[in-house]
A = this chain, B = another copy of it.
């Protein structure tokens, strides 16, 4: 399952959430990650996020697309991570 995660969280939790998401996905730009995950990994990641964030203040959106090829990505400006080279 191709997964895109974008988050809008209190500044003091950004570092923790960023480190957590790096365990599952590729950093794309500030507050955005993407990558291929299994259903189990998504459930595990989501449960972990629920523990880390403040659910009354923070917002994490998890987009899932069954097939990577169904999602095209276009970059305007700086491509902060060239995902094609990310193993």
Contacts and interface: CB of A to CB of B under 8 A. Distances in A.
Interface of A: 4, 6-9, 28-32, 46, 49-50, 53-67, 70-80
Contact of A77 (B55, B65, B71): B55
B71 A65 contact: yes
Ranked 4 nearest A-B pairs via Cβ:
A8-B29, A60-B76, A62-B74, A8-B30
Nearest to A47: B76
Of A30, A49, A50, A74, chain B has the most CB atoms within 10 Å of the CB of A74
A30 to B, nearest CB: 4
B75 A60 contact: yes
B73 A63 contact: yes
